């Protein structure tokens, strides 16, 4: 398997990364060392996760050279706008004990669904990110949870096209329109929560198909996304699961099975949507 997706600017993004949201339990760098030991070379974090300090420590302690790791962080939605985005970027660098990021994303397009000046705010953030990119402080810049109308708004003032959009994507929540829009723009799609929580992992059709292809349900769910050229960042807390999610047997899911999975009713949605108040999680 080719291990990378190539972004619009030629930067190579590992196809499988380690998602760190809540992985450190707020205070633990061991899990990061473990992920690097398992073989992960892409780590996804965010200012909001409040774990950057532990990720920085974990990287240092692991002995893996910084340049071998693809490191992503994000500016939180309350820090949108030119100045705050710059400040957030440098604060992330400090906590991560590094002088550059591989990828920097705007975490959500709006501070809250009612916000009226979100277009101005994201234009300011993007300008700051373009400058950081031009100065070589970050190798690629992109978005997270941006739907087509948010990207259209950003493109009104953007000089540099976003290289990545990170969306909640998994069997049962495929956001087809947003994925297609990104693909048409050449924006690399990355899936957060690719395992869709326990409900998707235990869904009868997933269990049955995983058995048919001779892989675990988690491996099957990851293959389902990779087969659509979507980058995945699963999280797991044991070495066994970390390895299982990284060392995926090569399987080719048939078109019939892909359609079946893509046409399932909504399943395992987090309840988060950039234009709406959060609804209780659908576990
Ligand atoms: P744990 O953290 O206890 O290892 P997602 O990335 O979609 O949010 O899913 C993460 C959830 O999936 C976590 O609860 C994680 O459990 C679980 N998980 C991760 N990898 C596997 C696996 N290979 N098999 C079963 N469950 C897994």
Q: Is position 249 within any domain? A: yes
Q: Is position 282 within any domain? A: no
Give the Cα separation of 130 and 192 in Å (integer): 24
Q: Is position 268 within any domain? A: no
| 122-157 residue pLDDT tens | 999 999 999 999 999 999 999 999 999 999 999 999
Q: Supply the DSSP symbol for 187.
A: P
CB 72 within 8 A of CB 276: no
Q: How far is the CA of 68 from the centre of ligand 1 (A)?
A: 25
| 166-223 residue pLDDT tens | 999 999 999 999 999 999 999 999 999 999 977 899 999 999 999 999 999 999 999 9
Q: Is 133 a catalytic residue?
A: no
Tokens representing residue 98 in the block: 């590094």
**What is the extent of the structural domain holding 143?**
4-262
Q: Is position 277 within any domain? A: no
Specify the number of domains making up the chain: 1
| Ligand 1 atom nearest to 21, measured from its CA | 8
Q: Is position 231 within any domain? A: yes
Q: Is position 192 within any domain? A: yes
Q: Is position 267 within any domain? A: no
- Overall residue count recorded for the chain in this entry: 283
Q: Reduced to 3 states, what is the DSSP secondary structure of residue 25?
A: coil
CATH number at residue 65: 3.20.20.100
Query: Which element (helix H / strand E) includes 54?
Result: helix 52-62
Q: How far is the CA of 237 from the centre of ligand 1 (A)?
A: 7
| Ligand 1 atom nearest to 242, measured from its CA | 20
Q: What is the CA radius of gyration of the chain?
A: 18
């Amino acid at each position: 398997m080719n291990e990378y997706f190539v972004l619009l600017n030629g930067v190579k993004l590992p196809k499988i990364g380690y998602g760190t949201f809540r992985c450190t339990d707020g205070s633990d760098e061991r899990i990061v060392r473990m992920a690097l030991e398992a073989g992960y070379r892409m780590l996804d974090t965010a200012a909001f996760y409040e774990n950057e300090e532990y990720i920085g420590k974990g990287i240092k302690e692991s002995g893996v050279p910084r340049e071998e790791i693809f490191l992503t962080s994000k500016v939180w939605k309350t820090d949108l706008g030119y100045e705050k985005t710059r400040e957030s970027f440098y604060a992330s660098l400090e906590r991560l004990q590094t002088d550059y990021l591989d990828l920097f994303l705007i975490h959500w397009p709006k501070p809250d669904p009612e916000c009226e000046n979100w277009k101005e705010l994201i234009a300011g953030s993007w300008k700051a990110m373009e400058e950081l990119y031009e100065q070589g402080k970050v190798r690629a810049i992109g978005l997270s949870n941006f739907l087509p109308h948010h990207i259209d708004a950003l493109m009104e003032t953007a000089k540099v096209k976003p290289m990545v959009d990170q969306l909640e994507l998994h069997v049962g929540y495929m956001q087809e329109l947003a994925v297609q829009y990104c693909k048409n723009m050449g924006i690399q799609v990355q899936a957060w929560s690719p395992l869709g929580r326990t409900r998707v992992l235990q869904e009868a059709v997933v269990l049955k198909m995983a058995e048919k292809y001779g892989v675990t349900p988690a491996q099957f769910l990851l293959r389902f996304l990779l087969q659509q050229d979507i980058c995945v960042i699963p999280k797991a807390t044991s070495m066994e699961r970390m390895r299982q999610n990284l060392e995926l047997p090569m399987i080719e899911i048939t078109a019939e099975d892909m359609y079946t999975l893509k046409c399932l009713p909504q399943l395992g949605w987090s309840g988060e949507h950039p234009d709406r108040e959060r609804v209780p999680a659908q576990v």
